[in-house]
Each structure stands twice: as structure tokens, then as C-alpha cells.
Amino acid sequence: MKTYISDIYERDFYEVKKSLEKEINTQYLNLYTGNHIDPSQSLHFEHIVSMDDFLCLYNAAILSPETQSRILNHRKNIKCNVITPEKNTSRFSIVNWVLKKLERKNAIITPEKKGNVLYNEWKLRNDTLDFMETEIQKEITILSN
């Protein structure tokens, strides 16, 4: 039976989620809002960089499916958000979700606040992409030796 990259990817993602759920305590922070996460709340884990975006990185496609999955499912590429029925983050891009959350609190969204949200999202994504590119180069070096 043939194993597909998506099967490996999902299996590894499930394992990472299980280990992260065990580690979460009141000191764990939501990466986007900076708020503490209560372990009793429903949590939602998702990738910062998607598989499609990852495969567009230089040399990513030539790696084995297991290696691709290991890099994609690294903790640095997983973000955690709190899920409530009326505030499901997966319906919106993270920027829109944070801005909607601020609106619900009747917070005045100044251009500076919006800029900070956009900058934090951009920085987190770029840091993750830099990490992935470094990991890809390490794997290519190992393969070439």
C-alpha cells in the first residue's frame, strides 16, 4: 500500500498536537494575542506555514515525505489558539480574527494597533520560514554527503 505525504503529515501533526496539549498550562501563551491559555479551554492547533507554502521553498520538494513532515510539524510551525463556539479562529485570517476580537471588546483600533498586529503576524511567519529554510539546507547537506 502506498503512503502519501498527506497521511504522514496528518499522523505527525496529530502526535505533535497530543504532546503540546499535555504541556499546556497557565504559563502557555497564545502566540498572537499574548494572553495566557487556560488548559481547561478548548484549544485549536494549526500550522503557521502551510504544506503548499512549504513546498514552494527552494529544495523542499526533493526531500523525502518523512523529512518534509518532520519540518512542517516542528513546534516552531504550530500555533495554538483558544476556541469558543462564537470565536472560531479558523474562519478568519489571524489578522482579521485579532481585529474582530478587539472590536468585540469595544477597543479603539488605531492604525498603530492594527500595524502591530500585522507586524507580529509577519514577523512570526518570516521567523518560521527562516527556520524551515535552515532545516531544508541541513537536510540537503546531509543528503549530499
If you write DSSP's letter for every residue of 60-97 in order, what string do you get?
A: GGGS-HHHHHHHHTSGGGEEEEEE-TT--GGGS-HHHH
Output the pTM of the full model.
0.71
Please report the DSSP string for 105-121 in residue order: TT----HHHHHHHHHHH
User: In this predicted model, what pLDDT tens digit does every residue of 79-128 receive, in sequence order?
Assistant: 877 665 444 444 456 666 666 666 766 667 778 877 887 888 888 899 99
What is the spatial distance between Cα 10 and Cα 24, in angstroms, rounded to a whole number? 21
24-70 pLDDT, tens digit each: 654 566 655 566 666 666 777 888 898 889 989 999 999 999 999 99
- Dist CA 82 CA 77 (whole Å): 17
Compute the distance between CA of residue 79 and CA of residue 124 in angstroms, rounded to an integer: 10
Per the DSSP assignment, residues forming a β-bridge with 110 are none
pLDDT for the residue numbered 26? 44
DSSP, collapsed to helix, strand or coil, labels residue 100 as helix
